[in-house]
Amino acid sequence: MSISDGSSRRFGFIAASLALLSTFAASAAPIPLYGIYREAEGLTYLDLSLTAVGYFVGTIVALVFLGRLSNHLGRRPVVLVSLALAAAGSLVLLDVQHAAPLILGRVLLGLACGVASSATNTFIVDNAPSDPQWLAAAVASTAPMVGLTIGALGSGALAEYGPIQRTLPYLVVIAGLVVSACMVMMSRETAPCQPGAVASLRPTATLPEASRRLYPVASCTFVATWALGGFYQAFGPAMATDLLGSTNTLIAAAVFSSMMAPSAVGGPLSGRLSPASAQRIGMVAFTLSVGGILLSLWVGAVVPFLVASIFAGTAQGVVLTGSIRALVTPASARERAGIFSLIYATSYSGAAIPSFLAGQFSRTFDLFELAMGYGLLAVLTCVITLLAARKPAP
């Protein structure tokens, strides 16, 4: 590979990574404002759960129907579509007077993240350097969490300490999306246009033969970890207010981010482990951390809660990177988009269904009782992982 080729790949890798971060940052920007919307517009726990469900459903629809589109239209055009959808969702959220625009904005952001989870992640893998080998999987698994963290903390700080608290976070997010789009347009295309775009819209589950026996355990880890992330998305600000006693939007953002950001640490840590070891060790650590989260919520202790959430996020990064490595390693370049679609469709389904159920059960159970259900899911998944995790085929 020539120097110019290497520079082009590096620029494409950086541009794709920034696009993924920006898209997920946009999706997290509304979350710290939920407390403001609850107080000013009278939104309920059910309304908040529906915003999460709308986001996850939008993501799943994009993954199922658009997951392989970048194989035919090219990576860059589809990545640009994801950035445009994120900008459209942010524009809708500039004027939230009741639940409907909040839900619509979250659906558009979900569509954006669904397209990005396949096309942008594949663009990252296409441009990733060959060494270290774990870098592409680590970025693919942790960049969404880092983006969510940046979006939440930035939005929380702007809403708490800046002017026009209900609009400034979205204006900043839109500016970041525009910068990302410009960088993507300057990147080289890694998947030239090919016929079959319409046929690619037909839902299919794509896994190489070597990956199929590893998918059941991997899917369990995706569901358990993303389910808890979905709970934080829907109820993070409510936990800060109702269980931890704070109305500060930055604290609400910190509650949400305390689990998301540390995934970036867990991803590289898993590079020292085999995929199966990363799955086992990560799930044990995740389950113990969830126990710490529940105990902290029970006694209403903010600092122990944040610490336990940080450990849970780190463990999540370990187990997710291990599971993604197990599934992606045997794949060819053309199989990657379909695999990432399946991975994230599984993950978002695992977040959407518990979020919907939590919203329905919120009429009967309080927040702590709802959180206990997520603890039981983590314990069950931990047992399955310890018994069934296997190494990928050579």
Cβ-in-10-Å burial (0-12, 13-18, 19+) of 167 comes to middle
Q: Which residue has the tokens 């774990």?
A: 134
Q: 208 is written with which tokens?
A: 């190489």
Q: Which CATH number fits domain 3-388: 2.60.40.10, 1.10.510.10, 1.20.1250.20, 2.30.31.20?
A: 1.20.1250.20
Q: 180 is written with which tokens?
A: 């990302």
pLDDT band of residue 6 (cuts 50, 70, 90) is low
> 48 to each of 13, 14, 65, 182, 224, how far by Cα in Å?
35, 34, 26, 34, 21
Count CB-CB contacts under 10 A for residue 214. 25
Q: Which residue has the tokens 């939104």?
A: 43
Q: What share of the chain has pLDDT > 70, as a percent?
A: 93
Whether omega before 132 lies within 30 degrees of 0, making that bond cis, reads: yes
Phi-psi domain of 300 (left: phi exceeds 0; alpha: psi -120 through 50; beta: other): left
Q: Report how far residue 217's alpha carbon sits from residue 214's, in angstroms, rounded to the nearest whole number.
A: 6
CB 366 within 8 A of CB 239: no
Structural domain boundaries of the chain? Answer: 3-388
Q: What is the pLDDT of residue 194?
A: 78
CB environment 83-111: b (16+ within 10 A), e (fewer): bebbbbbbebbbebeebeebbbbbbbbbb
pLDDT over 70 (residue 5): no
Q: What is the pLDDT of residues 276-331, one digit of tens each?
A: 899 999 999 999 999 999 999 888 888 898 899 999 999 998 998 888 888 877 66
Q: What is the pLDDT of residue 300?
A: 82
What pTM was estimated for this model as a whole? Answer: 0.77
Which of 91-105, 133-147, 227-241 has the lowest average pLDDT?
133-147
